[in-house]
Amino acid sequence: MTDRSIIFFDIDGTLLNHNKKLPQSTKHAIFKLKENGHKIVFATGRAPFMFTDLRKELDIHDFISYNGQYVVLNREVIYANPLNVQSLEKLTEVAWTNNHPVVFMDHEDMRANVPSHPYIKESLETFKSNLILKHDPSYYLGRELYQTLLFCPEGTEKQYEETFPSFDFVRWHSVSVDVIPKGGSKAKAIKLVTKKLNIPSEKQYAFGDGLNDIEMLQAVKNSIAMGNANENLKASAKYVTKSVEDDGIYYGLQMVGLL
């Protein structure tokens, strides 16, 4: 098919509803897109191991994970942007003194630097998954980490932003932020993917709902915010579709002429 488009989908709050379920209308829409020859790519803040089942269910194996730090295309890693280990070690020390736990994450697994903490429990429960988080304070040694979760109340991340300029801090929960390399984003990864596949801007689409999707929707010509999206995100999008709970993906794809 020469008229192929590429569509980037965030996962939580976009493909998956608030119960972490894939609406039937969304599943139908994805398979219809594939049948019509379009390229589908996940673009998520999640780790690769946190959406394995979804990749299998939809038979999609191209993804941008960790908000752009680990990218797989045609089952091959085409980009990996790890955190600076020395800065991460210092951040962990500061967080420890503040009673702010951290979770280290590579492409295969994640480990916490504390045995347990209420902030970790509260935020990770929102994924409604069966992932078991183990304790290993030295997990950052000898491996490449693409994201770290820092568990701290809203506003307290400011002190870390000022102290660690080599990192970006992206809040995704009232008690948790993603820590990624400075300047890393879904938008940069999308530019890499679309250049590699030689897909022009007018054939690029992206759906999202969260603050970590703002740069992505600003970078993609045909950007669609979910009806349940953050208001700042809606302002960054070209289109606004219905909520994920109201068949927003299916409706949005019809709205932009892909279905």
Active site residues: 10
CA dihedral 58, 62, 65, 68 (to 10 degrees): -140
Q: Specify the residue for token string 């701290």.
A: 152
Residues contacting 160, CB < 8 A, separation 6+: 91, 94, 95, 150, 152, 167, 169, 179
Phi, psi dihedral angles at 211 (to 5 degrees):
-60, -30
Q: Rounded CA gap, 254 and 14, in Å?
A: 16
Which is nearest to 33 in space by CA: 5, 63, 72, 73? 5
Residues contacting 153, CB < 8 A, separation 6+: 174, 175
Residues contacting 249, CB < 8 A, separation 6+: 9, 14, 15, 23, 25, 26, 29, 30, 207, 241
Q: Rounded CA gap, 144 and 162, in Å?
A: 24
- Residue 81: count of CB within 10 angstroms of its CB: 18
Query: ∠ at Cα 148 (147, 150), nearest 5°?
Result: 145
